Chain A
Amino acid sequence: MNYDRVLNSRIAQVPPSGIRKFFDVVSTMKDAISLGVGEPDFTSQWSVNDAAIYSLRQGRTHYTANAGLMALREAACDYLEARFGTRYDPKTEIFMTVGASEGIDLALRALVEPGDEVLMPDPSYVSYSPGVIFAGGVPRPVVTREEDEFRLTPEALKAALTPRTKALILPYPNNPTGAIMERPHLEAIADALRDTDVIVISDEIYAELTYGGKKHASFASIPGMKERTITLNGFSKAFAMTGWRMGYACAPAEILRVMLKMHQYTILCAPTAGQYAALEALKVGRETDYAYVNEMVRTYDRRRRIMLDAYKQMGLSCFEPRGAFYTFPCIKSTGLSSQQFAERLLREKKVACVPGTAFGESGEGYVRCSYATATDKVIEAMERMKEFVRGIRN
């Protein structure tokens, strides 16, 4: 059979993730230290696991409402208001998704007509651009630069806007750069969009992970912006629950209804045990003033500082990332490309990082190093990287 004739060419032509290629190389090396991991090294709290086990013991093995358990929607809305000052109606403006990833897909498919353009900062998370193509749209990367601390600037945004621009994906705190956008930066973006109908898909999955006294600012909390914003969040990063696949989408009722329709027909509901686990995470968080989250943030912050200090010693420039759990050092001064740097570092020193190019063309000259790895391993990896860079320079 000629599969090229049966497969959807638009989808078949999307290249596999650059990360995937590198994954195959790394997985063959047994004792490498990986700084390539995009998920917490913490595990979900035992009380969260226990709540899911208890739900199973109670025989709660059925579907829930399409939008998710009402108690969970209410808890999530209270959480968003308490932590980030955005208020959503649990009845009409939020539903539970299978990870924030499902939310990205639904948001794009709910908005994009064939040929519509969707803007996104470049470099960014690997799924946005393919997600736009799957939805029939045209991805338009907007280059962000180290000198702007990888923020999306209103100037770059305005230059990229066209009559076909349907949406802007705003993923801050950012993977892979660790950049954040503070309130004044978001206000400038809001001003640039105010006279347009562009919808903002604000992927705030790393919202809890900010450092140096910088609290996350949610785009929907900027006056006037809630009506044009789809806020995506979840439990993966904030509560170290990646494998539970629990996320949520919030938006004005009119938009959410369309997203929920697709969710209804394709997913039905987020996993029930996962919903009980998520509910417990929010409950424990509220009761303990988010002690577990705060402990993770303190630990990440210390590792972040260890990495930044190490880059300084290596003579690699790196702007100070204040969010997520990634550093994005510039490796141009080594004379190597991102791919060469990552491959040689892995082969010669058994340290894995991800070439910046996996996150878009403007990631060239950078690598992503995650500090979601045990502190002693981060320290060891930095020692090896120091030797590697020294070796190249001599």
Chain B
Amino acid sequence: MIRDLELSILEILFNDARTTPARIAVMTGHSEEEVTAVIRSLEAQKIILKYPAMINWDRVEADQVEAVIEVRVTPQRDEGFDAIAEQIYRFDEVSSVYLMSGAYDLMVTVKASSMKQLALFVAEKLSTLDHVLSTATHFVLKKYKLEGVIFEDRRQDERLVISP
């Protein structure tokens, strides 16, 4: 039961992080105190990490560039990929790092204010790290969908306003 509630709360907050505990209580049929306690516990367990807004940055700063970089590395004894991943994700320029299966090891997304700056970061910071064997940089040209949200959804509610 508590597990159901946890999942419901996560689903509701994932859709709209502004939903108040009082509202969630109504939506799930539990008390506000119970909901608040579950949220606190989810935060304490680092299941909920942060409550950010999803922003379409393309419409804010036209000159921001983003790239997805495929990185091949040599895993280290005892540490595997974690140590080298940390060396990469600590850079402020890096917005996400994933360990991947397949032809390369780490997928790194990097943001910078110009293409040149981003290229320099790859050339001077990323490629020169010990254990990095190679990089392949792909610039992001346009984002269509992120975390289930379509950025320019042109669909409108075209249903009849009243129907039987």
Given contacts A27-B162, A37-B160, 9 further A-B contacts (CB under 8 A): A17-B164, A19-B162, A26-B161, A34-B161, A37-B163, A39-B163, A126-B164, A298-B8, A306-B23
Tell me the chain B residues, 85-137 only, with Cβ under 8 Å from chain A: none
- With A43-B155, A298-B11 known as contacts, the answer to whether A23 contacts B27 (CB < 8 A) is no
Instruction: Among B8, B23, B29, B162, find the residue whose CB has the most chain A CB atoms closer than 10 A.
Output: B162
| Complex Cα–Cα for A22 and B16 (A) | 33
Q: Are A36 and B161 in touch, CB under 8 angstroms?
A: yes
Tell me the chain A residues, 325-355 only, with Cβ under 8 Å from chain B: 352, 354
Interface size class on chain A is: 20 to 34
Q: Are A41 and B157 in touch, CB under 8 angstroms?
A: yes
Chain A proximity mask over B145-164: 1 for CB below 8 Å, otherwise 0 = 00000000001010111111
Tell yes or no: B28 within 8 A of A by CB. yes
Chain B proximity mask over A362-391: 1 for CB below 8 Å, otherwise 0 = 000000000000111001000000000000
Q: Are B164 and A41 in touch, CB under 8 angstroms?
A: no
Q: Are B27 and A305 in touch, CB under 8 angstroms?
A: yes
Can you report 14 A-B residue pairs in the complex whose CB atoms are below 8 A from each other? A26-B162, A27-B161, A34-B161, A36-B161, A36-B163, A37-B159, A37-B160, A39-B159, A127-B164, A298-B11, A305-B27, A305-B28, A306-B23, A375-B16
Closest to B29 in A: A305
Taking the nearest CB of chain B, how far is it from the CB of A328, in angstroms? 14
Q: Are B160 and A23 in touch, CB under 8 angstroms?
A: yes
Q: Are A32 and B27 in touch, CB under 8 angstroms?
A: no
Q: Are A37 and B162 in touch, CB under 8 angstroms?
A: yes
Closest to A126 in B: B164
| Complex Cα–Cα for A34 and B160 (A) | 9
Q: Give 4 closest A-B pairs by Cβ, nearest first.
A: A36-B162, A302-B27, A23-B162, A38-B163
Residue numbers in A under 8 Å from B15 (CB-CB)? 375
Interface size class on chain B is: 10 to 19
Tell yes or no: A309 within 8 A of B by CB. yes
Tell yes or no: A292 within 8 A of B by CB. no
| Complex Cα–Cα for A374 and B153 (A) | 15
Residue numbers in A under 8 Å from B42 (CB-CB)? none
Tell yes or no: B26 within 8 A of A by CB. yes
Residue numbers in A under 8 Å from B23 (CB-CB)? 306, 379
| Complex Cα–Cα for A38 and B162 (A) | 7
Q: Are B163 and A302 in touch, CB under 8 angstroms?
A: no
Residue numbers in A under 8 Å from B157 (CB-CB)? 41, 374
Taking the nearest CB of chain A, how far is it from the CB of B113, in angstroms? 34
Q: Are A302 and B164 in touch, CB under 8 angstroms?
A: no
Tell yes or no: A290 within 8 A of B by CB. no
Residue numbers in A under 8 Å from B84 (CB-CB)? none
Tell yes or no: B12 within 8 A of A by CB. yes
| Complex Cα–Cα for A172 and B29 (A) | 24
Chain A proximity mask over B17-59: 1 for CB below 8 Å, otherwise 0 = 0000001001111000000000000000000000000000000
| Complex Cα–Cα for A379 and B28 (A) | 15
Query: A19's contact among B8, B27, B163, by CB below 8 Å, is which?
Result: B163
Q: Are B164 and A352 in touch, CB under 8 angstroms?
A: no
Residue numbers in B under 8 Å from A175 (CB-CB)? 164
Residue numbers in A under 8 Å from B29 (CB-CB)? 305
Tell yes or no: A84 within 8 A of B by CB. no
Residue numbers in A under 8 Å from B160 (CB-CB)? 23, 37
Taking the nearest CB of chain B, how far is it from the CB of A349, in angstroms? 15
Taking the nearest CB of chain A, how far is it from the CB of B4, in angstroms? 10
Q: Are A354 and B161 in touch, CB under 8 angstroms?
A: no
Taking the nearest CB of chain A, how far is it from the CB of B17, in angstroms? 13
Q: Are B163 and A305 in touch, CB under 8 angstroms?
A: no
Q: Are A305 and B26 in touch, CB under 8 angstroms?
A: yes
Taking the nearest CB of chain B, how far is it from the CB of A220, in angstroms? 25
Residue numbers in A under 8 Å from B8 (CB-CB)? 298, 302
Taking the nearest CB of chain B, how far is it from the CB of A315, in angstroms? 17
Chain B proximity mask over A92-109: 1 for CB below 8 Å, otherwise 0 = 000000000000000000
Taking the nearest CB of chain A, how far is it from the CB of B64, in angstroms? 29
Residue numbers in A under 8 Å from B12 (CB-CB)? 302
Residue numbers in A under 8 Å from B159 (CB-CB)? 37, 39, 41
Instruction: Among A125, A303, A375, A379, find the residue whose CB has the most chain B CB atoms closer than 10 A.
Output: A375
Residue numbers in B under 8 Å from A17 (CB-CB)? 164
Query: B161's contact among A32, A43, A358, A375, by CB below 8 Å, is which?
Result: A32
Residue numbers in B under 8 Å from A127 (CB-CB)? 164
| Complex Cα–Cα for A41 and B156 (A) | 10
Taking the nearest CB of chain A, how far is it from the CB of B155, in angstroms? 7
| Complex Cα–Cα for A309 and B30 (A) | 12
